[in-house]
Amino acid sequence: MIKKISSFLFLGIICVSLFAQNAKSKTNDPLLNNIDKTVKPGEDFFLYANGGWIKTNKIPDAEAAWGIGNLVQEDIYQRLININKKATLVKAKKGTTTQQIGDFWSTAMNTTAVNKNGINPLKKDLARIDAATSVAELLKLAAEFGTKGSSTFFSSYISQDDMNSEQMAFQLSQGGLGMPNRDYYFNTDEKTVKVQKAFKAYLAKIFMQLGNNQGVAIEMTAEVYALETRLAKASRKLADLRDPYKNYNKMSLAALQEITPNLNWHEFLTAAKTPIVDTVIVGQPEFYKALDKELLATNISVWKNYMKYNYVADFAAYLDDNTFMDKFIYSSSMSGAKEPRPRWKRVLDAQEGAMGEALGQLFVKEYFNATAKKRYENLVEEIRDAYKNRIANLTWMSDATKAKAYDKLAKITKKVGYPDKWKDFSAMQISKSSFVENMQAANMWWHNYKVNKLNKPVDRTEWDMTPQTYNAYYNPSNNEIVLPAGIFAVPGKKDAELDDALVYGYAAASTIGHEITHGFDDQGRQYDAKGNLTDWWTEKDGEEFKLRAKNIIQQFNEFIPVDTLHINGDATQGENIADLGGLLLGLDAFKKTASYTSGKLINGQTPLQRYFLGYAYSWLYQARKERLANQVKTDVHSPAKERINGPVVNLQEFYDAFGIKKGDKMFRDENLRVNIW
C-alpha cells in the first residue's frame, strides 16, 4: 500500500544538487528544466519530462538509484544532522530524547571504537547457539533473538486482525530466507545467478570469520543454502500473497500446535516475552508444515550455522568495517552500488528506524508550518469530492454498492504532516556502550511496544511513518491515509512558491489521490468503512471490477523495464490502479482551480501540460539495472518510468495536452485504454 518504493530510494551521498544546477539556468522551474527536448512527448513521455535531468545527474557511485526522493532526503538529512549535533552538546538526563539522540549519534559515529570491537558484542549470543543441544533449544533462542532484531525460521508480528479491525492479533507468515524472496532460489536468469553466487560467497565469509577454514566454510554454506532452498520451495510467490482471504487462516494455538508438532508454541511465545494467545492468524499454513518437517529432517549443526550467519548478517550494518563490507558486497549484487554510502547517512537511517518519531517531533517544530498542513488537508478534501463524483458517474456499478462506497470514502481518516500524539521512547535503553547494542535495545523497545498492544483496544491515532519521511501509505484496517510532512517537500522550493499545476500533479495526484485509491484497489476494495475484510460488493459489481482490473494487468504485463524481465502485472495491479486513480482525481480537482480555467501559460506551458509534467516530476528517477531487476522481482510497485507512461496513456487529456496522435509510440487505442474509477 506504500506509495514509494523501498528504502533503496533513500540511499544517497551528497551530489551536485538540482538547485545548484537550476540557479545557473534562466528559471528555477523544474518542470521546464528537467525536459529533454530531443525526445518527443508522444515517443516517451517519461524521458521527455525527466530526461534532461537524467542526462546531467549521474547516479552517485554509492547509490542503486537516484531521484526526487533522494533530492528531498538530502535536505532532510542536513536538518537531522543539525538536530543530532545539537543533542551531543547538551548534558541531558538519562531517558530524555536529547540524551537518546545524542548518545546514539556519538556512539555510532565513533568508528575507532566500532572497529576495535569487531564482532565482540555478538560473541555471547553466538556461543549460546553453539552450546544448544536440541532444535527445541535453538527455537527458544530464535524467539529471544527475534526480540533483539534477528529473525530466523519464520516471521511473526502483532498487528490488526483483518476480519476484526478493533483487535490486535498475533500473526505468522512465511519467512526465514536470506535472499529477498523464493524466486531468487529458482530463477535462472543471469542477474539472479549473480545474486545466488554473491549470497553463497557471503555466507562462506561469515563462516570463516567465525573460525572455520575455507573448505569447511564452503561445505557449511552448501548445507545452509540447500535448507533455505527447501523453505523457499514451500513459500508462496509475490502475486499469491495478494489475496487477503487466502493469506488469512485464523486458528487456535492448539490447532497450530497440531500441524507443527515439532515447534513448541508455548515455549516460543514465553521466550519471545509474548503472552500465550488463544488464537493465531497464519498467513501460509503449508509453509509451517514444511518447516516443521525440516526441524526434524535437518541436522542440528546445519540449523546452528543457519542461525549464526543470520545473527551476524542481521547486525552487520552496526559492526566494524570488515563485517559491514562483506554484507555490502552481497547487497551490491542486487543494488549495483559501487561503494557504500557514507557512515553519517547510514547512522541517520539506523536512527530513523530506532527512534525516528522522537527526531520527527523536533523536526516539525522547526521545519513544518501550520499553513502547509492546512493546504494539504484541504487538498485531501478536494480529492475526496472528486472521487465522490467519479463514483456517482460510474455506469458499471449498482446503486447498492455505490452507497457503501460513498460511506467508505467519507470515513477515510486523513493524517497529514505529523501525529497529534507522540510515542514515548523514555524506556528505550540508549547508552554509550556500542552502536550494535543500542540497535538491539531499540529493537527490544519496539518488540515490547507491539506486545503491549495485545488484548487492548486498537490505537487509531498512531502513525507507522515518521513526519520526516518522503513516503505515504493507506492502511486498510484503519481505513486511513497517512501523509507525512516529508512527502510534500519540493527540492529547493518553499511551499508558497509552488504553482497549482505542479501541486496538483505532484502532490494531489501522485500522493493523495494515489493513497485514497488504495482504499478501492484490488485489495483495498475488500475492506469496508470500518477496516474489516468483508465483501460489501454485489457479485456482479465485483465481477465488473475484476474485468477492468484485468485490463490494467494486461497493460503492465507488456512492459519490459530491464533485460527480458516483464513487469508482473498481477502483483503490481494494486499500485497501478492507485496511480491511475490518483492521476484522474488530481486532474478532476485541478480543473476546478482558477489556474486551470484561466488557461494562463507558465514558462510557455499550458495548465494541462504542467499538470502532466508535475505528475512526471514525482517520479524523477533513474536506477541501475541490478536495482531494476531486483525491483521487478520483489516489489509490488512498477518502476518509475512505467508509473508515468503507464497511467498517462489512459487519459484523453494527455493526448490533447501534447498533441499526441495515432502512429505515435505513446498512443494507445481507445478500446485498450483502462477505465476503472
- Interface residue list for Zn ion (CB under 5 A): 3, 575, 578
Nearest distance, CB of residue 283 and Zn ion, angstroms: 21
Q: Which of 500, 501, 514, 653 is nearest to 579 (CA)?
A: 514
Contact between 615 and 45 under an 8 Å Cβ cutoff? The reply is no
Contact between 304 and 99 under an 8 Å Cβ cutoff? The reply is no
Smaller CB separation from Zn ion, 25 or 413: 413
Nearest distance, CB of residue 407 and Zn ion, angstroms: 23
> How far apart, in whole angstroms, are the C-alpha atoms of residue 121 and residue 613?
51
Smaller CB separation from Zn ion, 528 or 575: 575
Contact between 336 and 622 under an 8 Å Cβ cutoff? The reply is no
Smaller CB separation from Zn ion, 2 or 441: 2
Element spanning 160, H or E:
strand 155-161
- In this structure, what are the phi and psi dihedrals at residue 526, rounded to the nearest 5 degrees? -85, 0
Smaller CB separation from Zn ion, 2 or 307: 2
Nearest distance, CB of residue 541 and Zn ion, angstroms: 23
Alpha-carbon distance values, 521 to 1, 78, 330, 676 (Å): 10, 37, 36, 9
Alpha-carbon distance values, 248 to 172, 243, 455, 473, 515 (Å): 10, 9, 19, 22, 23
Nearest distance, CB of residue 392 and Zn ion, angstroms: 25
Rg of the chain on CA atoms, in Å: 25
Smaller CB separation from Zn ion, 33 or 572: 572
Strands 413-417, 480-484: pairing kind: parallel
Smaller CB separation from Zn ion, 575 or 626: 575
Smaller CB separation from Zn ion, 438 or 523: 523
Smaller CB separation from Zn ion, 3 or 627: 3
Smaller CB separation from Zn ion, 3 or 236: 3
* Torsion over CA: 92, 95, 98, 101 (sign): positive
Nearest distance, CB of residue 65 and Zn ion, angstroms: 18
DSSP string, 272-319: TT----SEEEES-HHHHHHHHHHHHHS-HHHHHHHHHHHHHHHHGGGS
CA angle 484, 574, 536 (to 5 degrees): 100
Strands 164-173, 155-161: pairing kind: antiparallel
Smaller CB separation from Zn ion, 608 or 620: 620
Residue 316, C-beta contacts closer than 8 angstroms, at least 6 positions apart: 323, 324, 326, 327
Nearest distance, CB of residue 331 and Zn ion, angstroms: 24
Nearest distance, CB of residue 521 and Zn ion, angstroms: 8
Question: In 405-554, which ranges are E strands?
Answer: 413-417, 473-475, 480-484
Q: Which of 172, 176, 320, 182 is nearest to 239 (CA)?
A: 182
- In this structure, what are the phi and psi dihedrals at residue 561, rounded to the nearest 5 degrees? -70, -25
Nearest distance, CB of residue 581 and Zn ion, angstroms: 10
Nearest distance, CB of residue 481 and Zn ion, angstroms: 10
Nearest distance, CB of residue 171 and Zn ion, angstroms: 22
Smaller CB separation from Zn ion, 423 or 643: 643
Contact between 234 and 291 under an 8 Å Cβ cutoff? The reply is yes
H helix runs in 153-252, sequence order:
183-186, 190-209, 214-233
**Helix axes of 123-131 and 300-315: crossing angle, nearest 10 degrees:** 170
Nearest distance, CB of residue 1 and Zn ion, angstroms: 5
Nearest distance, CB of residue 670 and Zn ion, angstroms: 27
Smaller CB separation from Zn ion, 36 or 575: 575
Residue 319 CA from chain centroid, whole number: 25
**DSSP collapsed to 3 states, 344-405:** HHHHHHHHHHHHHHHHHHHHHHHHCCHHHHHHHHHHHHHHHHHHHHHHHHCCCCCHHHHHHH
Smaller CB separation from Zn ion, 125 or 575: 575
Nearest distance, CB of residue 577 and Zn ion, angstroms: 9
Nearest distance, CB of residue 531 and Zn ion, angstroms: 17
Side-chain-facing half-sphere of 246: CA atoms under 13 Å: 9
- Which residue's Cβ lies closest to Zn ion? 3
> How far apart, in whole angstroms, are the C-alpha atoms of residue 302 and residue 290?
17
Smaller CB separation from Zn ion, 3 or 140: 3
Element spanning 173, H or E:
strand 164-173
Which residue in the block uniquely carries the three cell numbers 521546464? 32
Smaller CB separation from Zn ion, 323 or 477: 477
Nearest distance, CB of residue 6 and Zn ion, angstroms: 12
